[in-house]
Structure 1
Amino acid sequence: MENTTPSSVLTEADLKEKVVQAIKTVYDPEIPVDVYELGLIYEIKIFPVNNVYVLMTLTSPSCPSAESIPVDIEKAIREIEGVAEVSVELTFDPPYSQDMMSEVAKLELGFM
Protein backbone atom coordinates (compact mmCIF):
# COMPACT_ATOMS: atom_id res chain seq x y z
CA MET A 1 0.00 0.00 0.00
CA GLU A 2 1.33 3.41 -0.97
CA ASN A 3 2.01 5.97 1.75
CA THR A 4 -0.69 8.61 1.40
CA THR A 5 0.23 10.67 4.45
CA PRO A 6 -0.45 14.34 3.67
CA SER A 7 2.67 16.50 3.57
CA SER A 8 1.26 18.70 6.32
CA VAL A 9 2.10 15.88 8.75
CA LEU A 10 5.65 15.31 7.53
CA THR A 11 8.01 14.30 10.28
CA GLU A 12 10.67 16.82 11.19
CA ALA A 13 13.33 14.53 9.66
CA ASP A 14 11.35 14.17 6.40
CA LEU A 15 10.84 17.91 6.14
CA LYS A 16 14.51 18.60 6.89
CA GLU A 17 15.50 16.19 4.08
CA LYS A 18 13.13 17.98 1.69
CA VAL A 19 14.67 21.31 2.75
CA VAL A 20 18.18 19.98 2.05
CA GLN A 21 17.04 18.75 -1.38
CA ALA A 22 15.51 22.17 -2.13
CA ILE A 23 18.69 23.97 -1.05
CA LYS A 24 20.71 21.69 -3.33
CA THR A 25 18.89 23.24 -6.31
CA VAL A 26 20.52 26.62 -5.56
CA TYR A 27 23.95 27.33 -7.03
CA ASP A 28 26.44 30.13 -6.62
CA PRO A 29 26.44 31.55 -10.18
CA GLU A 30 30.24 31.63 -10.23
CA ILE A 31 30.81 28.08 -8.92
CA PRO A 32 29.35 24.91 -10.53
CA VAL A 33 28.44 23.37 -7.15
CA ASP A 34 25.25 23.80 -5.12
CA VAL A 35 25.37 25.96 -1.99
CA TYR A 36 24.76 22.99 0.33
CA GLU A 37 27.77 21.03 -0.94
CA LEU A 38 29.84 24.23 -0.87
CA GLY A 39 29.29 24.29 2.89
CA LEU A 40 27.41 27.60 2.92
CA ILE A 41 24.59 26.20 5.07
CA TYR A 42 25.52 26.27 8.75
CA GLU A 43 22.21 25.23 10.27
CA ILE A 44 18.71 24.08 9.33
CA LYS A 45 16.06 24.08 12.05
CA ILE A 46 12.47 22.95 11.79
CA PHE A 47 10.08 24.57 14.27
CA PRO A 48 6.48 23.56 15.06
CA VAL A 49 3.93 23.88 12.28
CA ASN A 50 6.65 23.44 9.62
CA ASN A 51 8.46 26.73 10.06
CA VAL A 52 11.97 26.51 8.59
CA TYR A 53 15.03 28.46 9.74
CA VAL A 54 18.30 28.42 7.78
CA LEU A 55 21.55 29.97 8.96
CA MET A 56 23.99 30.40 6.11
CA THR A 57 27.04 32.26 4.91
CA LEU A 58 28.54 33.24 1.58
CA THR A 59 31.97 32.52 0.17
CA SER A 60 32.86 36.15 0.86
CA PRO A 61 31.14 39.23 2.34
CA SER A 62 31.65 40.94 -1.02
CA CYS A 63 30.10 38.03 -2.96
CA PRO A 64 28.33 39.50 -6.03
CA SER A 65 25.43 37.10 -5.41
CA ALA A 66 24.92 38.19 -1.78
CA GLU A 67 21.47 39.52 -2.62
CA SER A 68 20.23 36.63 -4.75
CA ILE A 69 21.46 33.42 -3.08
CA PRO A 70 19.52 33.80 0.22
CA VAL A 71 16.39 34.82 -1.74
CA ASP A 72 16.79 31.81 -4.06
CA ILE A 73 17.15 29.49 -1.04
CA GLU A 74 14.04 30.94 0.59
CA LYS A 75 12.07 30.56 -2.67
CA ALA A 76 13.17 26.94 -3.11
CA ILE A 77 12.13 26.05 0.46
CA ARG A 78 8.77 27.84 0.13
CA GLU A 79 7.95 25.56 -2.84
CA ILE A 80 7.91 22.53 -0.51
CA GLU A 81 4.31 21.58 0.14
CA GLY A 82 3.41 22.01 3.79
CA VAL A 83 6.07 24.60 4.69
CA ALA A 84 4.58 27.49 6.66
CA GLU A 85 7.24 30.17 7.19
CA VAL A 86 10.84 30.39 6.00
CA SER A 87 13.56 32.49 7.58
CA VAL A 88 17.04 32.66 6.02
CA GLU A 89 19.67 34.40 8.11
CA LEU A 90 23.07 35.40 6.75
CA THR A 91 26.16 35.33 8.96
CA PHE A 92 29.89 35.62 8.46
CA ASP A 93 30.77 34.08 11.82
CA PRO A 94 32.57 31.77 11.45
CA PRO A 95 34.05 33.02 8.18
CA TYR A 96 33.71 30.67 5.22
CA SER A 97 36.68 28.54 4.23
CA GLN A 98 37.17 25.87 1.59
CA ASP A 99 37.44 23.31 4.40
CA MET A 100 33.64 23.60 4.76
CA MET A 101 33.06 22.08 1.30
CA SER A 102 31.86 18.51 1.05
CA GLU A 103 34.06 15.93 -0.65
CA VAL A 104 31.61 16.07 -3.59
CA ALA A 105 32.27 19.80 -3.99
CA LYS A 106 36.04 19.41 -3.60
CA LEU A 107 36.07 16.70 -6.28
CA GLU A 108 33.87 18.76 -8.61
CA LEU A 109 36.14 21.79 -8.24
CA GLY A 110 39.37 19.79 -8.53
CA PHE A 111 40.56 20.31 -4.95
CA MET A 112 41.04 16.54 -4.40
Structure 2
Amino acid sequence: MIIEDKAGIKDQVIEKLKTVYDPEIPVDVYELGLIYELHTFPEGIVKVVMTLTAPACPAADQILQDVQAAVASVDDVKEVRVEISFDPPWDREMMSEDAKLELGFF
Protein backbone atom coordinates (compact mmCIF):
# COMPACT_ATOMS: atom_id res chain seq x y z
CA MET A 1 0.00 0.00 0.00
CA ILE A 2 1.23 3.49 -0.84
CA ILE A 3 0.25 6.32 1.50
CA GLU A 4 1.31 9.86 0.70
CA ASP A 5 0.26 12.64 3.07
CA LYS A 6 0.94 16.16 1.84
CA ALA A 7 -2.09 17.69 3.52
CA GLY A 8 -1.59 16.27 7.01
CA ILE A 9 -4.96 14.51 7.06
CA LYS A 10 -3.93 10.91 6.28
CA ASP A 11 -4.86 9.51 9.71
CA GLN A 12 -8.30 11.13 9.57
CA VAL A 13 -8.92 9.70 6.10
CA ILE A 14 -7.84 6.23 7.21
CA GLU A 15 -10.18 6.39 10.22
CA LYS A 16 -13.06 7.27 7.91
CA LEU A 17 -12.14 4.46 5.50
CA LYS A 18 -12.34 2.07 8.45
CA THR A 19 -16.07 2.91 8.69
CA VAL A 20 -16.77 1.60 5.17
CA TYR A 21 -17.67 -2.08 4.92
CA ASP A 22 -18.19 -4.45 2.05
CA PRO A 23 -21.85 -5.41 2.70
CA GLU A 24 -21.02 -9.08 2.21
CA ILE A 25 -17.99 -9.17 4.53
CA PRO A 26 -17.97 -7.94 8.16
CA VAL A 27 -14.59 -6.18 7.80
CA ASP A 28 -13.87 -2.63 6.66
CA VAL A 29 -12.30 -1.87 3.27
CA TYR A 30 -9.04 -0.66 4.83
CA GLU A 31 -8.42 -3.80 6.90
CA LEU A 32 -9.52 -5.97 3.96
CA GLY A 33 -6.60 -4.53 2.00
CA LEU A 34 -8.81 -2.99 -0.66
CA ILE A 35 -7.05 0.39 -0.44
CA TYR A 36 -3.97 0.26 -2.69
CA GLU A 37 -2.97 3.93 -2.62
CA LEU A 38 -3.93 6.98 -0.61
CA HIS A 39 -2.65 10.40 -1.63
CA THR A 40 -3.55 13.68 0.06
CA PHE A 41 -2.64 17.06 -1.35
CA PRO A 42 -2.40 20.52 0.24
CA GLU A 43 -5.31 21.80 -1.87
CA GLY A 44 -7.66 19.46 0.02
CA ILE A 45 -7.71 16.81 -2.71
CA VAL A 46 -7.63 13.15 -1.71
CA LYS A 47 -6.99 10.41 -4.24
CA VAL A 48 -7.84 6.82 -3.32
CA VAL A 49 -6.84 3.93 -5.55
CA MET A 50 -8.66 0.82 -4.46
CA THR A 51 -9.85 -2.55 -5.60
CA LEU A 52 -12.77 -4.85 -4.92
CA THR A 53 -12.76 -8.43 -3.72
CA ALA A 54 -13.95 -9.49 -7.20
CA PRO A 55 -14.27 -7.63 -10.53
CA ALA A 56 -17.99 -8.46 -10.67
CA CYS A 57 -18.67 -7.42 -7.07
CA PRO A 58 -22.42 -6.79 -6.82
CA ALA A 59 -21.87 -4.11 -4.16
CA ALA A 60 -19.26 -2.17 -6.15
CA ASP A 61 -21.35 0.98 -6.66
CA GLN A 62 -22.36 1.13 -3.00
CA ILE A 63 -18.81 0.61 -1.76
CA LEU A 64 -17.48 3.35 -4.05
CA GLN A 65 -20.20 5.76 -2.93
CA ASP A 66 -19.48 4.95 0.72
CA VAL A 67 -15.72 5.50 0.27
CA GLN A 68 -16.39 8.80 -1.51
CA ALA A 69 -18.76 9.99 1.23
CA ALA A 70 -16.53 8.85 4.10
CA VAL A 71 -13.44 10.60 2.77
CA ALA A 72 -15.42 13.72 1.85
CA SER A 73 -16.61 13.98 5.46
CA VAL A 74 -13.07 14.72 6.69
CA ASP A 75 -12.49 18.37 7.56
CA ASP A 76 -10.32 20.16 4.98
CA VAL A 77 -11.15 17.65 2.21
CA LYS A 78 -12.51 19.57 -0.73
CA GLU A 79 -12.38 16.92 -3.46
CA VAL A 80 -12.24 13.12 -3.47
CA ARG A 81 -11.05 11.09 -6.43
CA VAL A 82 -11.65 7.34 -6.20
CA GLU A 83 -10.14 5.03 -8.79
CA ILE A 84 -10.63 1.28 -9.13
CA SER A 85 -7.72 -0.96 -10.04
CA PHE A 86 -7.54 -4.72 -10.38
CA ASP A 87 -3.77 -4.72 -10.71
CA PRO A 88 -2.77 -6.60 -8.71
CA PRO A 89 -5.90 -8.66 -8.19
CA TRP A 90 -7.04 -8.73 -4.56
CA ASP A 91 -6.44 -11.88 -2.53
CA ARG A 92 -6.76 -12.84 1.13
CA GLU A 93 -3.08 -12.19 1.81
CA MET A 94 -3.76 -8.44 1.43
CA MET A 95 -5.92 -8.43 4.57
CA SER A 96 -4.57 -7.21 7.88
CA GLU A 97 -3.92 -9.74 10.62
CA ASP A 98 -6.99 -8.40 12.46
CA ALA A 99 -9.18 -8.98 9.40
CA LYS A 100 -7.90 -12.52 9.00
CA LEU A 101 -8.65 -13.21 12.66
CA GLU A 102 -12.14 -11.70 12.35
CA LEU A 103 -12.91 -13.91 9.36
CA GLY A 104 -11.28 -17.03 10.81
CA PHE A 105 -8.56 -17.36 8.17
CA PHE A 106 -5.96 -18.70 10.60
| TM-score, normalising length: structure 1 | 0.87
Q: State the secondary structure of the residue aligned to 1:20.
A: helix
Equivalent of residue 21 in structure 1, options 9, 15, 20: 15
Alignment deviations for residues 68-96 of structure 1 (CA, whole Å, 9 cap, x no partner): 10110010111111111100001111100
Match in the other structure for 1:47:
41
* Paired residue type of 2:78: A
Where does the alignment leave 5 or more consecutive residues of structure 2 unmatched?
Answer: none
Which amino acid is 1:100 matched to?
A: M
2:54 match = 60
- Kindly provide the amino acid, as one letter, of the partner of residue 62 in structure 1: A
Q: Alpha-carbon deviations, 1:2-39, whole Å to 9, x = none?
A: xxxxxxxxx84740100000000000001000010000
User: 1:1-112 alignment to 2 at 5 Å?
Assistant: 12=6, 14-112=8-106
Provide, for residues 50-71 of structure 1, a one-character-per-residue CA deviation record: whole Å limited to 9, x for no partner: 2100000000001111111011
Q: Whole-Å Cα distance in 1 between the matches of residues 42 and 75 of structure 2?
A: 15
Q: Which has the higher strand share?
A: 2
Q: Which has the larger radius of gyration?
A: 1
Question: RMSD of the alignment, in Å?
Answer: 1.3
**What SS class does the counterpart of residue 9 from structure 2 fall into?**
helix
- Report runs of 4+ in structure 1 exceeding 6 Å deviation: none
How many residue pairs get matched? Answer: 102
